[in-house]
Structures are given as C-alpha cells and as structure tokens.
Amino acid sequence: MQINRDLSDVSTITVTFNPDLALLKSQLAVLPPESFKLIIDNASDSKIREQIKSLVGQTHNARLVWNAENIGLAAALNLGVSLLREHDPNLRFVLLLDQDSEPQPGSIHTLVKAFETLTERGLRVGCVGPTLVDATTNLEHGFHQATRWRWRRVYPRQGMTDAVPCANLNGSGTLVPIDLFQSLGGLDEAFFIDHVDTAWSFRVLAAGYGLFGIPNAVFKHRMGQASVRFWLLGWRIWPARAPRRHYFLFRNAIFLIRRSEVLVVWKSWAVAKLLLVAGIHGMFDTERVEQWRQMWRGVRDGLRKPER
C-alpha cells in the first residue's frame, strides 16, 4: 500500500489536560508536517501550560487554544472541529487524538488510504481507526464486533491488511470526514469523558455508515493511569483508573443503556463488565470504598439524567 499521499486535507485535534510532555512531544513529532495540528488544552496547571505553549511553538503548522476550564473531552473536540472548519473550509478529514497516543510511522497515511479504498468499493464509510497497542504491556486492544448474542474483540493476524468491520472504535486515532462529523451534530458533550467514542460509534452506525478497523495502521496508546496484563483465555489488558474516572465510566454506561440506538448485546455486555469492575476493585483496590462510592454515584446520576 502506498503511503506517499499528501495529507494537507487532513487536520489533527489533540485534547490535553496536564499531559505527559514527553509523550505529547513524541506525538507532535510524528504527525504529518503538511497537516494542520490543533491542540485544545482543557485548563492544565499553569506551569504545564507554559511548557505546552513552548512545545507547540516549536511544532510546524500547529496552533494552541486555551480553555479557561475543563470543558471535557467531547466539548473540546467539538470546539476543535468548528475551529478547523473556520481555518480551512475545504478540509476533508479530522484525526481525533488523545494526548498520550503515538501514531507509528506511516499509520496516518494508511488510515486515509484505507478510507478512500473502502469508499471506492462503494461502502458508506463513517470512520476508520487504527490498531491500538498498549504502551505498557505491548498488547493489542483488538477491534470490537457484535453478533446477535455476543460483544467481542477480534485480533487480526499479523500482517493482515484487510479492513475489519467494527461495532465500535476507540476515539483516539479515529479518522472522520469533517462533513459527516458536523452533519451528525458532533460528539455528545453530556458524556464529558469515557464512552464519548462509544456513543459516537452507535450514532454513526444508526445513520447508516460503517466503522472499520485498519490492522496495519498502528498507534501506541495508554488506557487509564496504568495497565495490568492478566490471563483470561489469552493475555488481556486491565486499565487502572482513579475513582473519579469510574464515576464517568459508570454514569455514561447507564446513559448508553437507556438509548434506543445502542445494540442490546452491548447493553448486556456493559452490565456484566460494570459488575466485574466493581467486584475487582472491591477485592483488590486499596481505595475500594471511594471507588465504590464513585461507581454508585455514577449509576445514580445515569438513571436520573433524562434520555436524549
């Protein structure tokens, strides 16, 4: 697959909040020089903000936007897309990025080429996303697929290049046409963080578009504060999260369970996973009381929130 396509019609958005500056520097260094790079900072600490400013100032074709408060991942990305449209009315694609994701060489070209190839085959392509490899354990996160009875992860064999139809894509590394993003109303800002990408994926599917994972586009990625490798019919990744993150994870899962466009099989899987998360943290987490308190608050607030 050729990877020499000009990417001036692709812009990137990275949302930052007290980032690891070394990781952010690595990310910016590998983004295509011809692509416009927008960094939206969600009110990082003042000392870190000055370092972000310096880093972005050293990056070609980049702009930094400050938010006075943390408006959340979804709202920051929506703001970024609006600013990019103003910056370049002819922009075609937006690549959404977390602050700690590192595209491997050629992977962004591969995503764009895959999108164009799938479209040429007559498919209604909504988004494409890369293979995510956990930076701590070096394990792949896999791609989500759904059958009538099962929500599962699939792991393409080494060297595979065929696109994988997906039921969900991780937000970081998602390549989306800006026209589609805006026509569907952008990301749901009520989610703030966690399951922002899940809610978006179900809306894309409900609108009649497809989601595809691209195995040979590889991004290093960090899930949660840390990752633990464990064995369950194969090596798996368990992300460690702070209690506050579990509040959003549980609340937003309940939001999704209440929505009609969300697959029933995902809802069943989500309930089982929430119970597993609560059980694991109840047994092994030194902050178990605070973890459970935040999980319960999330469930309560998720049930109180009116449906969209």
Question: Looking at residue 239, what is its pLDDT?
Answer: 67
Question: Looking at residue 136, what is its pLDDT?
Answer: 79
* Helices 196-206, 243-257: crossing angle, 10 deg rounding: 20
Query: Residue 91 pLDDT more than 60?
Result: yes
- Cβ proximity of 210 and 165 under 8 Å: yes
**Prediction pTM value:** 0.91
The Cβ of residue 147 has, within 10 Å, a number of other Cβ atoms equal to 9
Residue 276 has which token pair?
């597993």
Question: How does the average pLDDT of the chain come out, rounded?
Answer: 91
Beta strand segments in the chain, E = 10-16, 37-41, 62-66, 93-98, 102-103, 125-134, 143-146, 151-154, 164-166, 175-177, 210-221, 226-231, 235-240
pLDDT in tens, 266-295: 999 999 999 999 988 878 778 889 999 999
Query: Residue 57 pLDDT more than 90?
Result: yes
Is beta strand 151-154 parallel, antiparallel or unpaired with respect to 210-221? unpaired
By three-state DSSP, how is residue 168 classified?
strand
Side chain identity, residue 7: L
Residue in the block written with tokens 């943290």? 281
2 pLDDT band (50/70/90 cuts)?
Answer: very low
By three-state DSSP, how is residue 269 classified?
helix
What is the pLDDT averaged over residues 109-126? 97
Rounded distance between C-alpha atoms, residue 299 and residue 294, angstroms = 9
Rounded distance between C-alpha atoms, residue 250 and residue 271, angstroms = 10
Query: First CA to last CA across the chain, in angstroms?
Result: 42
Query: Residue 99 pLDDT more than 60?
Result: yes
Phi and psi at residue 255, to the nearest 5°: -50, -50
Residue 1 has which token pair?
């697959």
Q: Which of 103-117, 198-212, 294-308 has the lowest mean pLDDT?
A: 294-308
pLDDT in tens, 208-258: 999 999 999 999 987 655 555 454 545 555 566 888 999 999 999 999 999
Closest of 56, 12, 10, 64 to residue 37, by C-alpha: 12
Beta-bridge partner residues of 227:
239
What is the pLDDT averaged over residues 172-186? 97
Find the helix or strand (DSSP H, E) in which 243 lies: helix 243-257
Question: Looking at residue 102, what is its pLDDT?
Answer: 95
Rounded distance between C-alpha atoms, residue 200 and residue 92, angstroms = 19
Closest of 3, 12, 1 to residue 175, by C-alpha: 12
